[in-house]
A and B are shown apart, each in its own frame.
Chain A
């Protein structure tokens, strides 16, 4: 792992941190193990030396020196720890009286303190831990232990710990390297895709493998890319639409005004030209507003006016609005099922959508047709269905109906701009819903499918939001 990569690679930092943590853990465990074994042994020896020396002094210190010498000889001969025990009694002048040491610390060595010294015991040099205590008669009592065995155990523990440290260091380094490689491999897949998208291939997606955090991140990114692509297509469509479908009426308008200026001399003729131009501009503004409305709905940003809406109420209101127009066109418009179904939405936009569907049905189903509206409620959601028994739409044309500015040949003589169903589709999408077109044989069946809200949720929502402003009809006071 290069040090320079630490600043610019989170994978390297993670791997290094991981390795460092592992090493720290090994150090702590080793420490605990070391002091739990060697430390305990050391403390045990110190305790024994102290207790034996104290016992000897208490039992024989004030008595004759011979009794003490006798006891020491017995201790050295009893076979318990005899090969490591050290005893020595010296006279006030520093001469050995009894004991198994041939050299000992000088008389001025500190008294009553445990010391580590090299001594000659039974003719062998060995390191020992011992204590010197004064005898009431002026001599010294030395009690101690040979530490050779101790050394051997300590060395064994130490070697074991060294081996563990070496192995764990190797494991930490290898683990860190593997970790880093794993992370980098996953990230580089994502980066490759983003580079491709940056280069203009908006349809590229990250390959998903497994179901871990990276796979979920990749899924999120892919979903985001889907949304962006969809919005980009929307923008592209709008600019195409402006290029083709607004340019034509604009140039027609311009030509007419130009001609009027060049040819028409009478005030009436010029007034007429101006009036026609205003009508043309109004039509353009209407198309423009509709394109904006589509773009707004497609942006997917919900309006602040999202609230509980009873779709049956919406269809009744719209049928009421369109009823005279339908009658005039010879179309029988009626609501066949108006069970209350609730959705969360913008009442105005939903009304726009329903109105647009009714408008289409009246226009294209033809005189004598029946147009029926109903609300439906199913497990997966609710829907508004508009069905006519008119001539219907050829199956090949169905998917094209929601395209902007698409108009079927037989619709071209009708007023309209080919945006109606595009708006309905966008409004449905804004509400997390879908516009479904199907041949009803005879006629066309159009459904706006939306997510529903259950009555329970509705009642809960009531505690926070004021109840849906259901317009009492007639409510004449606010006019």
Chain B
């Protein structure tokens, strides 16, 4: 995977680049807006990680709108210290695919980058999700493990679908909260953990192998694990 990191603060840039390298990416760091735009236009990238406030006469949002204006559909993850609702909405409206507030954990960054990559390569027409013997039919909303049908609440269906679409990838609690409940706040209690354990009791309990896994300190993963 080829990633372009446009971030002017050296320490943060190093942190992002190292995290991506550990996740197996080939990373090109870039310290100012104009060079960043140049790189983004003249090379093929799998994902671009972009800060909002940049030196070099062009800021993050302008880079996004230039790229989108020129028809580039490369997934873009915006990282920014501008964290208010308005700023996030602005970043996404401009054409960013995801918005991550600083400071962030490297695991959160990687999980979001992987989700972006998966989304970019997935075929949306796929109506039958399958992981091992777990199936979810998007048209009939039927869930089953093997031949055993499983009854789920509407919101649990959304949750399961999200996990299945990101099969084998770590998803964080924040990602689940945003994607399934459309919430952008930090709940005081472990609501997501409880939701997950309820889903797990329906999808995994009494079946083998277990498909939902807790990744300590990061989030969850649905998939087959050795």
- Residues in A lying within 8 Å of B, measured CB to CB: 282, 285-286, 289, 292, 296, 303-305, 317, 320-322, 324-325, 327-328, 346, 348-349, 351-352, 355-356, 359, 362-363, 415-416, 420, 471, 473-477, 479
Contact = CB atoms under 8 A, between A and B. Distances in A.
A303 B87 CA distance: 9
B187 A476 contact: no
Contacts of B120: none
Given A320-B155, A477-B124, A416 B86 contact: no
B85 A476 contact: no
Contacts of A289: 83, 186
30 contacts: A285-B103, A289-B83, A289-B186, A292-B83, A303-B89, A304-B86, A305-B85, A320-B181, A321-B195, A322-B191, A324-B191, A325-B189, A325-B190, A328-B194, A348-B184, A351-B183, A352-B185, A355-B187, A359-B188, A362-B189, A363-B188, A415-B188, A471-B182, A473-B154, A474-B158, A476-B138, A479-B158, A479-B161, A479-B162, A479-B165
Contact of B84 (A303, A325, A352, A356): A303
A286 B186 contact: yes
Q: Is the interface of A mostly helix, strand, loop or mixed?
A: helix
B1 interface: no
B144 interface: no
Nearest to B124: A477
A53 B17 CA distance: 118
Contact of A473 (B83, B155, B188, B189): B155
Nearest to A417: B188
Given A325-B189, A325-B191, A348-B185, A474 B161 contact: yes
B150 interface: no
B179 A321 contact: no
Contacts of B187: 321, 355, 359
B86 A305 contact: yes
Given A303-B85, A305-B89, A325-B195, 11 more contacts: A321-B181, A322-B191, A325-B194, A327-B194, A328-B194, A351-B185, A355-B183, A359-B189, A415-B188, A474-B157, A479-B165
B198 interface: yes
Interface string B186-226: 11111100110110000000000000000000000000000
Contact of B85 (A349, A362, A479): A349
Nearest to B188: A359
B158 A473 contact: yes
Nearest to B193: A325
A4 to B, nearest CB: 52
Given A474-B141, A477-B138, A303 B188 contact: no
Contacts of B179: 479
Contacts of A473: 154-155, 158
Interface in B101-118: 103, 105
Nearest to A419: B188
Contacts of A327: 194
Contacts of A348: 85, 183-185
Interface string B17-34: 000000000000000000
A351 B182 CA distance: 10
B84 A296 contact: yes
Contacts of A471: 182
Contacts of B191: 321-322, 324-325
A420 B155 CA distance: 26
A55 to B, nearest CB: 96
